[in-house]
Amino acid sequence: MEFAELIKTPRVDGVALHRPFMPTVEGTLCLTGHHLILSSRQDNTEELWLLHSNIDSIEKRFVGSLGSIIVKCKDLRMIQLDIPGMEECLNIASSIEALSTLDLLSLMYPFFYRPMFEVIEDGWNSFLPEDAFKDLESMTDEWRLSEVNKDFSVCPSYPPLVAVPKYVDDDTLKKAATFRHGGRFPVLSYYHKKNGMVMMRAGQPLTGTNGRRCKEDEKLINATLRPGKRGYIIDTRTINVAQQAKARGGGFESEANYPQWRRIHKAIERSNILQESLIKLVEACNDQSHSMDRWLSKLEASNWQTHVKEILTTACLAAQCIDREGASVLVHGTEGTDSTLQVTSLAQIILDPACRTIRGFQGLVEREWLQAGHPFQQRCAQSAYSNSKPRQEAPSFLLFLDCVWQILRQFPCSFEFSEGFLVLVFEHAYASQFGTFLGNSTAERAKLSLPEKTVSLWSWVNRPQELERLTNPLYEANSLVIWPSVAPQSLLLWEGVFLRWNRSSKCLDEAYEEMGHIIAYNKELQNKVNSLRRQLAQLETEDPLLQSP
């Protein structure tokens, strides 16, 4: 298929662009296969380059022969294009609609994008499972890297290499996989160096109504327990939902068959409810009524903050079991690709200081989301402005980022990255020139040859100039577990994402800049003093007489 077929009018002159907090720009609108471009004849105005894949939906309005298109983006921005001429406007609108809803992955922009920067380190190779395992090996010899899934036949959503208990063989894994939703047998998610406890994740066990059991599954997870120790299974569903799952062949681990495990049910909502919540929240943020009652009631009705609280609470609980109770934990929900990953990844943010660095966080997203088979393609196909019937969209990953932001707000000096990094990751998960978030699993990414044909987001991020921009000036590494507060008063609306386009952030940005100045000036003086100190030390060794002034 040629993009040209979809572009009815490639170019219109005299188009006015309205953006929040920016002056109106007039210029020429061009449509290319992947971008909507508005370039102005004035020299000093910025051009707009908008990826079609970032467009969530559009709205058309006509006043006489002047048409307006309101473009609503997945990053929650709204822009308005005033296009002279009814026909042009209709053509542009239908072209945008067609180009922004292409289903074929191989037509996506990352396959066409060529980096304009020097790749210092190929992000596709930065976080391979075998490298992560080397770190694990340096701490314990109780685990091995299994190749049982090397052709993705045991579990299509798992990577080819997974860490499992050393003395559990591949046949056992294969049998356990048949007992778990989507073949997602329990695998290692995190090893807590301090006490050797682990966190594992899986899909739900397929017990069904007649209470099926699987010795291999029991053996697999029991192999992770120290003698005489009990572990916790954190089921991210309420007991009722878990019960109902039995009718569809799913279920949960019974006490009888898993006597060494204690089950805790927590309620994290499922994808369609989360998507609805996002839509309502964004609608509330865009409400122009200026009524306090209306805002608070809409915010409450969206339930977004409730979801943040539930997810964070469950992650804290998992972390608490591991760090304070000295127990290993298995986390699962239904498929094990959404709420499970939210919990396991957030627990690591709390427990593991390495995950709070820029590189460590990339590694966490790779391990716990991309390689763990979170279906990004399906979940991020549409965002809050979508009018089409929701299919498998859900802001699971955005909720994870929101929770990280909440912890960052409570521990502002404990993260190497700034809020901007989280916003960047959010944007790229929904629309990007990079291939990182394309596809739903490692298997799909391999099939599409993404590592060969596209550039990784991390290749771009891991360059000095970007790293500098994303670094939190307040960061001072600390090696401790950080326990966030989950009280309602402590959880805030993530303004940097949800109010980003609704209110000017000028004053807040200035404050952030000022903070940077204060710290940079301090560093500068420190360097000066230190260099003087060195000079002094040198003089002292050269001339012993100078030693006592």
Q: Report 476-515 residues binding other proteins (CB under 8 A).
A: 476, 478, 480-483, 485-493, 495, 499, 502-504, 507-508, 510-511, 514-515
Using rule CB under 8 A, residue 283 touches other proteins: no
> Which residue's CB is nearer to other proteins, number 17 or number 242?
242
Contacts with other proteins, 17-46, as mask; x by CB under 8 A? ------------------------------
Using rule CB under 8 A, residue 329 touches other proteins: no
Name beta bridge partners: 63.
Answer: 66
Stretch that binds other proteins, among 21-29, 102-110, 189-197, 412-420 (CB under 8 A): 412-420
Cα(152)–Cα(71) distance, integer angstroms: 40
> Which residue's CB is nearer to other proteins, number 127 or number 498?
498
Using rule CB under 8 A, residue 548 touches other proteins: no
Token readout for 279 is: 């839509």
Cα(204)–Cα(242) distance, integer angstroms: 9
- Of 194, 447, 469, 533, the one binding other proteins by CB under 8 A: 533
Phi first, then psi: give them for residue 444, nearest 5 degrees.
-65, -40
Stretch that binds other proteins, among 57-65, 133-141, 383-391, 519-527 (CB under 8 A): 519-527
Stretch that binds other proteins, among 30-38, 240-248, 322-330, 420-428 (CB under 8 A): 322-330
Cα(469)–Cα(513) distance, integer angstroms: 11
Cα(483)–Cα(31) distance, integer angstroms: 49
Least distance between other proteins and beta carbon 168 (Å): 27
Buried b (16+ CB within 10 A) or exposed e, 214-245: bebbbebbeebbeeeeebbbbbbbeeebbeeb
Cα(155)–Cα(87) distance, integer angstroms: 51
Contact between residue 191 and residue 330 where contact means Cβ atoms under 8 Å apart: no
Least distance between other proteins and beta carbon 438 (Å): 34
Phi first, then psi: give them for residue 412, nearest 5 degrees.
-65, -15
Reduce the secondary structure of 86-122 to three states and give it as a string: HHHHHHHHHHHHHHHCCCCHHHCHHHCCCCCCCCCCC
- Of 306, 357, 378, 392, the one binding other proteins by CB under 8 A: 306
Least distance between other proteins and beta carbon 349 (Å): 14
Phi first, then psi: give them for residue 55, nearest 5 degrees.
-85, 125
- Of 153, 240, 272, 526, the one binding other proteins by CB under 8 A: 526
- Of 89, 163, 311, 317, the one binding other proteins by CB under 8 A: 317
Least distance between other proteins and beta carbon 534 (Å): 10
Using rule CB under 8 A, residue 349 touches other proteins: no
Which 8-state DSSP code applies to residue 334? S
- Of 86, 447, 518, 547, the one binding other proteins by CB under 8 A: 518
Least distance between other proteins and beta carbon 501 (Å): 12
Q: Which residues in 136-165 contact other proteins (CB under 8 A)? A: none
Q: Which residues in 203-262 contact other proteins (CB under 8 A)? A: 232, 262
Least distance between other proteins and beta carbon 476 (Å): 7
Cα(392)–Cα(272) distance, integer angstroms: 7
Tell me the site size for other proteins, rule CB under 8 A. Answer: 79
Name beta bridge partners: 18.
Answer: 80
Q: Which residues in 428-487 contact other proteins (CB under 8 A)? A: 474, 476, 478, 480-483, 485-487
Strand order in the sheet with 329-332: 187-192, 197-201, 329-332, 231-235, 261-265
Stretch that binds other proteins, among 20-28, 301-309, 422-430, 435-443 (CB under 8 A): 301-309
> Which residue's CB is nearer to other proteins, number 119 or number 537?
537
Phi first, then psi: give them for residue 8, nearest 5 degrees.
-80, -40
Where in 159-224 does DSSP place strands (E)? 162-165, 187-192, 197-201
- Of 323, 352, 427, 444, the one binding other proteins by CB under 8 A: 323
Name beta bridge partners: 68.
Answer: 61, 82
Least distance between other proteins and beta carbon 300 (Å): 4
How much helix, strand and coil, in percent to the nearest 5, is found in the chain?
45, 15, 40
Cα(37)–Cα(11) distance, integer angstroms: 9
Token readout for 109 is: 């922009």
Nearest to residue 309, comparing CAs of 483, 494, 482, 485? 485
Stretch that binds other proteins, among 53-61, 126-134, 200-208, 294-302 (CB under 8 A): 294-302
- Of 38, 299, 311, 404, the one binding other proteins by CB under 8 A: 299
> Which residue's CB is nearer to other proteins, number 119 or number 539?
539
> Which residue's CB is nearer to other proteins, number 31 or number 491?
491
- Of 112, 113, 133, 295, the one binding other proteins by CB under 8 A: 295
Q: How far is CA 272 from CA 261, 279, 309, 391, 408, in A?
A: 31, 11, 18, 8, 27
Token readout for 316 is: 């804290």
> Which residue's CB is nearer to other proteins, number 385 or number 475?
475
- Of 193, 212, 265, 463, the one binding other proteins by CB under 8 A: 265
